Structure 1
Amino acid sequence: MRVLVVGINYAPDLIGVAKYTTEFCESLADWGHEVRVVTAPPYYPDWSVPAAYRSAWYHRERVNDVDVIRAPIYVPRVPSGAKRMLHHASFLISAAFPMLSSALRWRPDIVFVVAPSLLSAPMAALAARISGASSWVHVQDLEVDAAFEVGLLRSGATRRLMAVVERWILRAFHRVSTISPQMMGRLEHKGIAPARLREFRNWIDTSLVVPGDNQTRFRTELGLAPSDIVALYSGAMSNKQGLELIVEAATALKDSHPAVKFVLCGNGPVKPTLVQMAGDLPNVKFLDLQPLDRVSELLNTADIQLLPQKVEITDLVLPSKLAGMLASGRPLIAMAEPGTGVATEVDGAGLVVAPGDAGALAAAVVALAKDAPLRASLGAVARARAEQKWDRISIIRSLEREFMALPQRAAAAGHRVPQPAIPVRTIEHVATGSRRRSDTPGRLFSRPSMRPQARGVGSGKE
């Protein structure tokens, strides 16, 4: 099976959507599928493209048996609402050529789009339609709703227009998936038929992130005492998380509970503001984003995992960092409303406090800091939940089965497909092989005359 994946974030970005898109693609490639990715240069969460990837041209590479095509995009240094729109629009424009070229010449069986960026999805739906492939859009977060809820965009007329466009885009796909039951409910409310909806949650490799001793090298590097209680946040630092609440909680506890230390690990546009807020607080430490081979050690440094969240984005996202927190075997403190996706996942594995309430966060940290047996029992539940509900292989296998269940048609006897005319700097070839093809066209257009006819296609591989 050939799978064309379109998503703005991919490795070597380390966190967020990139991690899951990369692991998904590499798993499919490991299991014998042919995978091609159209993506952007790495830039997240620093919103800066590394020197090795700065180019106004396309770049192609072969990474862990995945064919990766990087399209040049605009990356704002300070991502305001309008600049984010330009950022996503630039990916739509630059990614269109490799998407359509792959559709016409490489002939995928599945076109799988990861949102964000939803703006690139119509072109991907068109690529699926003209190639006769099945189409699938995976919603990692409800980016349109979130942009308005956190104030990046404000106009009511703009919101109504974007809601109509969003609904039109989502309806162009055979399948729509997202990462939690609550987000599925929101998509259904947006007009997506339940029969077309699937839950495809994020995951963690529970063999790589395992509970361990909290006396790690990080404690030494940060100058922490063995008896200190560490409350850790690790992830992107943007305006969605409400990270200022952690600094406010630290300020409240700096004199009354000096053994409680807050560690914020990550990068992003609000980090300078957080560092300035913390000033010379002795109980707040900052770390940069850590490499993957130190993630388990980092999470084990914590006695308590922190998951702040603004009330405005309740159930618009299910933070991807949650899986790693659970797998670490440490109790969580999550800021969420009762009945939301985050509250449901954390129930029994930690404490849930009201979003936006720094005082409640501080009180929860103190409660866990004082009660080691409670931390241990909640942490054990967290680890068990990660193993039962967040295991990487079982989740990706379930999506593979969904892919195989989509309508297919037999391919004709193979011949080598010509190399697509994509302007690239680095091109690597792979061996030929036979495959099957999808025969149900997408629904981006409604006129029957635009449906591609069933036909035999070459089974050669570039």
Structure 2
Amino acid sequence: MAHPNCDPVFSGRYIDVRILIYGINYAPELTGIGKYTGEMATFFAAAGDDVEVITAPPYYPHWEIKEGYDRGFHTETVDGVTVHRCPLYVPKEVTGMRRILHEFSFVLSSMRYWIPRYFRSYDQIICVSPPFHLGFPALIHKWFRGTRVLYHIQDLQVDAARDLGIIKQQWLLRLLERAEKWLLHRVDTVSTISQGMLLKVTKKSIPADDIVLFPNWVDGDLVFPVTRAQSARSTWNIPPNDRLILYAGNLGEKQGLENVIELADRMRQVPNLQFLIIGEGGAKARLVADAQRRKLPNLTFKPLQPLSQLAATLAAADVHLVLQKKAAADLVMPSKLTNILAVGGHALITAEQGTTLYEQVKDNHLGTLVAPEDLDALETGLRKILSGQRANDSSGALTFAAEHLDKRNILFGFRQILTLNTKQHNSWNSHHS
């Protein structure tokens, strides 16, 4: 087996990269951006790279600092990665303005670690967005020391704030849009997680050659096909003949989760049918209150399950709900879908025709598609799946996951891009020094 640092692009030479990663979310957060950033950093460190991270203490998706984590400044080593933690304001109730304060508090406190790093050399700085403005401290390093900056977009935050009505002040939206455009034109490379998001970035006048597709992945050691008997159904005391409709993920405002409550209400008379919502997020309290008001006997909420139980959790479901509001089309890529595909689950997905998500699901038989924010369509789609009429819709799930979502292949390919950029950058500097 080749040495992990042996890259065929460089004729067998070992190329280790000194990387600084800047992001508000990081391991041990179990879901969302922090999970992927943590796994990326750990992969780079295992490959021999010198990796530092500037981040916050874990708080997502509960929106409270994880028990056992210092609220002040501290540095720790996690899986070979040097992690610098910065305090930040975490609102109990997440609103547009409070989220802005939350994010800016992190940028301000993180300068405690940025300032000394302006006097150190790195080959690459990777900024993970959102928050979108994390690129600004990195640009200072680029101006001082010529460091390459890669700006990785997990969510198109400014577009989502506008299209979903999260921020309604037009002057503020214009300011954020101008700031984002200014930033994107000054970093060296932009990466993002889906073709639809890539196309939206090109519409911001970013040259296609400066954009890299870096999709989220599936960890095959954690997520894999599990039989119904091995699933979490027995742990949850779900009768073998009951059918389980599962939504597992972030309980935020982009998903339109009020439709799950309404759907359970409409189908409360269907025998042996249960709805289960697993997750945390800013909309959870509102959803729980709505469900309690309706006194739904067929709907249950559960907290996030341990990662070690992820495969068993997903395998318990007969149908997985992957919901997004219409305005979120191609602004975010539902990362939960990757795990559903990896266990061979049948996903009921809301997506508009013409979006990348719609075309990818349709072309590869990844699930059943219905129009977003259309409760009648959602109910019809669910009933057809339960009756067996749409069994073929998800026939390509396992194959697609194996061919396109493998964690090691995606991270290895991304590291090749980083090492190639580093070599070219160092060669240019040597030639012009």
Q: Report the TM-score when normalising by structure 2.
A: 0.91
Aligned equivalent of 2:215? 201
Question: What is the rounded CA distance, in whole Å, between the counterparts of 2:327 and 2:139 in structure 1?
Answer: 31
2:286 maps to 273
- Residue 158 of structure 1, CA deviation: 2.0
Q: Contact 1:100/1:127 (CA < 8 Å) preserved in 2?
A: no
Cα distance, 1:130 vs structure 2: 2.0
Match of 1:80 in 2: 95
* Correspondence 1:119 to 2:133: yes
- Kindly indicate whether residue 236 of structure 2 is the aligned counterpart of residue 219 of structure 1: no
Which of 403, 416, 430 is residue 418 of structure 2 equivalent to? 403
Q: For residues 214-293 of structure 1, what are the structure 2 equivalents within 5 Å?
A: 214-216=228-230, 218-255=232-269, 257-279=270-292, 280-293=295-308
Write the distance in 2 (CA, Å) between the matches of 1:313 and 1:90. Answer: 26
Contact 2:128 2:134 in 1 (8 A): no
Mapped partners of 1:379, 1:66: distance in 2: 38
Unaligned runs of 5+ in 2: 1-16
Name the residue aligned to 1:9: 25
| Alignment partner, residue 315 of structure 2 | 300
Offset at residue 379 of structure 1 (A): 4.1
- Give, in whole Å, the separation in 1 of the partners of 2:426 and 2:317: 48
Structure 2 partner of 1:431 = none
Matched, 1:25 2:38: no
* Bigger relative contact order, structure 1 or 2 (CA pairs below 8 A, ≥6 apart): 1
Indicate yes or no: 2:371 matched with 1:354. Answer: yes
Indicate the residue corresponding to 2:113 in structure 1.
98
Q: Deviations over 1:431-450 (max 9, x none)?
A: xxxxxx84779xxxxxxxxx
Aligned amino acid, residue 404 of structure 2: K
Assess if the C-alpha contact under 8 Å between 2:124 and 2:422 holds in 1.
no
- Measured after TM superposition, the shift of residue 164 of structure 1 is 0.9
Residue deviations 1:162-194, cap 9 Å, x none?
111100111121100111111111111111111
Q: Distance in 1 between matches of 2:399 and 2:316?
A: 19
Aligned counterpart in structure 2 of residue 109 of structure 1, from 104, 119, 123:
123
Q: Secondary structure at the match of 2:62?
A: coil
Aligned-partner SS, 2:68: helix
Select between 4-13 and 115-124 the one with higher mean Cα deviation.
115-124
The alpha-carbon deviation at position 228 of structure 1 amounts to 1.2
For normalisation by structure 1, the TM-score amounts to: 0.85
Q: 1:231 to 1:311 in 2, by over 3 A?
A: same
Q: Which residue of 1 aligns with 2:360?
A: 345
- Give secondary structure in 1 for the equivalent of 2:240: coil
Distance 1:329 1:18, change over 3 A: same
The 8 Å contact of residues 247 and 278 in structure 2, kept in 1 or not, is answered as yes
Which residue is equivalent to 1:427? none
Deviation string 1:266-306 (CA, Å, 9 cap, x unpaired) is: 01121122122222312111110011100011000011111
Q: 1:97 & 1:129 partners in 2: Cα distance?
A: 19
For residue 11 of structure 2, what is the aligned residue in structure 1?
Answer: none
Deviation at 1:407, TM superposition (A): 4.5
Write the letter of the residue equivalent to 2:90.
V
Query: What SS class does the counterpart of residue 406 from structure 1 fall into?
Result: helix
Structure-to-structure mapping, 1:388-427, within 5 angstroms: 388-408=403-423
Q: After the TM superposition, which of the residue ranges 342-351 and 381-390 deviates more from structure 2?
A: 342-351
- Is the 2:123–2:422 contact (alpha carbons within 8 Å) kept by the matching residues of 1? no
Q: How far did residue 123 of structure 1 move?
A: 0.6
2:166 to 152, 157, 161: 152
CA separation in 1, counterparts of 2:119 and 2:283? Answer: 42
Matched letter for residue 286 of structure 2: T
Number of corresponding residues: 413
Please tell me whether the aligned partners of residues 45 and 236 of structure 1 are also in contact (alpha carbons under 8 angstroms). Answer: yes
Task: State the partner residue of 1:315.
Answer: 330
Deviates more, 1:117-126 or 1:295-304: 117-126
Distance change >3 Å, CA 407–CA 269, structure 1 → 2: closer
Identity %: 34
Look up the equivalent residue of 2:285 and give its one-letter code.
Answer: P
Aligned to 2:181: 167
CA offset at residue 320 of structure 1? 1.3
Read off the aligned partner of 2:386 and give its amino acid letter: A
Aligned mates of 2:426, 2:320 — CA distance in 1? 44
**Counterpart residue type for residue 4 of structure 1:** L
Runs of at least 5 residues in structure 1 that lack an aligned partner in the other structure: 410-436, 442-452, 456-462
